[in-house]
Chains A and B, each alone.
Chain A
Amino acid sequence: EIVLTQSPGTLSLSPGETATLSCRTSQSVSSSDYLAWYQQKPGQAPRLLIYGTSIRATGIPDRFSGSGSGTDFTLTISRLEPEDFAVYYCQQYEKPPRYTFGQGTKLEI
């Protein structure tokens, strides 16, 4: 089982700044297709932001970008907007079919 460790646990920033969120996997992710990021606001379901490591999901602004390979992946949010303050989860897929999530990073003002 691959374990995903996100850092920092909490990130305090202001609107207009840039957020850099890290996701480290315990084993190398075998395909860039297998890494995704989600945003979750209080009382809401997670929303897919990034898939395939760096592809923005439908309707996601270009302020959101993903990168990385192997065991180190990054979600970058540029020009933070008030609505960006939420919890972010990374997720990886492995075979046999299984999804594993990181513990989350809370982005707060």
Chain B
Amino acid sequence: QVQLQESGPGLVTPSGTLSLICVVSGGSISNNNWWNWVRQPQGKGLEWIGETHHSGSTNYNPSLKTRVTISVDKSKNQFSLNLNSVTAADTAVYYCAKEGGYRLDSWGQGTLVTVSS
């Protein structure tokens, strides 16, 4: 069973860049899966951010596309999220998740990122 663990700064200043890493254990990131980021503002619903494949291919939510970069590091079995020009609206719990055929079947525990000065 694949396990995922997010890590990164819990506080980001407005207009800065949010950077998170998701470490994959119990399986190879080079398997034929897509690796995703999803976020959830406090008390609200889920928003898909985007996904990457070990080949380097990516797909992004059109609403965030101009600010998001997701990349994979096969040597470390991890993938990362960068979201630039952040505002308070980007404050949320950020989850990484594994795609398992049109659904997200394994999730990290989530990490809270607050955008504040």
A-side residues, CB < 8 A to B, are: 1, 31, 33-34, 36, 38, 44-48, 51-52, 57, 89, 91, 93, 96-104
Q: Could you tell me if A89 and B109 are in contact, using CB atoms closer than 8 angstroms?
A: no
Within the complex, the shortest CB–CB distance from A72 to chain B, in Å, comes to 19
Within the complex, the shortest CB–CB distance from B103 to chain A, in Å, comes to 4
Residues of A within 8 A of B88 (CB): none
Q: Could you tell me if B34 and A45 are in contact, using CB atoms closer than 8 angstroms?
A: no
Residues of A within 8 A of B110 (CB): 45
Asked if B51 is an interface residue, CB under 8 A from chain A, the answer is yes
Q: Could you tell me if A51 and B105 are in contact, using CB atoms closer than 8 angstroms?
A: yes
Q: Could you tell me if A96 and B59 are in contact, using CB atoms closer than 8 angstroms?
A: yes
Residues of B within 8 A of A44 (CB): 109
Interface-facing stretch out of B13-21, B42-50, B79-87: B42-50
Q: Give the size of the chain B interface in residues (CB under 8 angstroms).
A: 22
Q: Could you tell me if B95 and A45 are in contact, using CB atoms closer than 8 angstroms?
A: yes
Q: Could you tell me if B34 and A97 are in contact, using CB atoms closer than 8 angstroms?
A: yes
Residues of B within 8 A of A99 (CB): 36, 38, 48, 104
Residues of A within 8 A of B105 (CB): 48, 51, 57
Query: Given that A33-B101, A48-B103, A57-B105 are contacting pairs, would A97 and B59 also be in contact in the complex, using a CB cutoff of 8 Å?
Result: yes
In the bound complex, CA of A51 to CA of B104 (Å): 9
Q: Could you tell me if B46 and A46 are in contact, using CB atoms closer than 8 angstroms?
A: yes
B95-106: CB near A (< 8 Å → 1, else 0) gives 100001111110
